[in-house]
Amino acid sequence: MTSLFSARSRASTWRQLWLWLAEAEKELGLSIPDEAIEQMRANIVVSDHAFDVAREYEAKSRHDVMSAVFSMGVDAPAAAGYIHLGATSCYVTDNTELIFMRRALDLILPKLAKVIQNLQEFALKYKDMPTLGFTHYQPAQLITVGKRAAQWIQELMMDLEDIETVREKLQFRGAQGTTGSQATFLELFEGDASKIVRLNEILCKKAGFSSTYAISTQTYTRKVDLRVANAVCALGATAERICSDIRHLANLKEMEEPFEKSQIGSSAMAYKRNPMRSERITALGRKLARLPANFTATFETQWFERTLDDSAIRRMDIPEMFLLADSILLTLDNVTNGLVVYPNVIRSRLDQELPFMATESILMKLSTHGVSRQEAHEEIRVLSHQASDVVKQQGGRNDLLERVKKTEFFKPVWSEIDSLVDPKLFIGNCPKIVEDYCHGEVAEKLAAYKESLDKASTAQLSI
């Protein structure tokens, strides 16, 4: 990703676009010498010397694209009079951004699929391990460890689908002239508009796009950037949410991210196991999730056919968006590939809460013995408050069930008490929900990424 958005990659892509334009114009009848094409083709990758030439020229001209045109003309003198023929600066700048965004999307999609696959395997492994659910961050009805991971998967799946959609919808700007009127190309082709259509078809084929946007101004509409940002940056919010859950679970000592043997958690407190990867992802996710505000402002303040206040900010925002997403996914892959679960801690917390949750089952069992529910409710209420006092005021463990077993009122169900607090009685349909989702919708989506996932697995095994 860093290489993609490098200065050399950008400058070389400009040169590639000029070569494609010259080749297409020659194919459509313009008199461009073969030597010019050959020299352009031989000098696509920008050398350090070419950078120096462009930098020196830009210091005088204050125009980056014309400086690059001049630099390429120095490298390919036979082509100097044909480089950028009929084009405006946005022919190279905008088409390059579209090429870069498409390549960047192609880089992050398989990485996102890999994270989903990690969590798919994790969810299936722990699909039937009971754990406390939390609403309002207070103990709630039981779920399973795998069910919670399936929720994370579903949110990442939404990101995957949204990013796939903007990738599929991405088009090329092509050669449209200074205000999108195609006037310069109409002049070059002596009024033959069909050649402009053909020109853009050739350019699209060379660049690997299916089509150009039907309407362009001097630029492609900055709505495209916003559309891409809305999809990519939403990943930041998802990553932040997932890693916040992991950080809370680490505090509860139920689950934590990988912690290496020689890793140091704190410079002062040697015992600490800080969830630093999840914290890093949370920080980067927060930054990424808020970038669409910049893309929104850039889009909504474009006046008429174009203003230049979009240029500097996009040179920061577009690379930053993809570098953030890439870094988040690389780290999230590491975290989700090595999540550690502590079953005994999970069970200990269940034992503290299950007696309260089992009270309804106890009431139902008593009713089968002809005991009034209202009377039973009052008896269990009193004992529950006593047990709660032991937990909250005395710091003791939940002894509600022991109290029930010692209270004569509950004698009809004493023998059934222990069977009523098996955690698996309280997880509902969680295992099937996880299996159906992971083997169904998730597996179907991941099938499209099989090749990249297989490569990732092979690379992981070799490390």
Q: Which residues are catalytic?
A: 136, 266
Are 157 and 235 a contacting pair, CB within 8 Å? no
- Which two tokens mark 449? 């990424």
> Hunting for tokens 């462009």 — which residue is that?
54
CA distance 32 to 82: 7
The maximal CA–CA distance of the chain, rounded, in angstroms, is 105
Q: Determine the residue type at 181.
A: S
* Burial class of residue 451 in the structure, from the number of CB atoms within 10 Å of its CB (0-12 exposed, 13-18 middle, 19+ buried): exposed
CA distance 229 to 252: 35
CA distance 96 to 149: 39
C-alpha radius of gyration, the chain, whole number: 31
Map residue 87 onto helix, strand or coil: coil
- Which two tokens mark 206? 């060379």
Q: What are phi and psi of 172, to 5 degrees?
A: -100, 150
According to DSSP, the residues that pair with 143 across neighbouring strands are 131
Helix, strand, coil tally for the chain in percent (to 5): 70, 5, 25
CA distance 319 to 185: 31
CA distance 281 to 158: 19
Task: Tally Cβ neighbours within 10 Å of residue 140.
Answer: 13
- Which two tokens mark 445? 């989506």
Are 228 and 101 a contacting pair, CB within 8 Å? yes
Are 83 and 18 a contacting pair, CB within 8 Å? yes
CA distance 460 to 114: 12
CA distance 140 to 134: 5
What are the start-end ranges of the E strands in 40-172?
130-135, 138-144
How would you classify the pairing of strands 340-341 and 138-144?
unpaired
Give, in order, the Cα–Cα distances in Å from 406 to each of 161, 364, 373, 400, 414.
57, 19, 19, 10, 9
Q: 342: phi > 0 → left, psi -120 to 50 → alpha, else beta; which?
A: beta
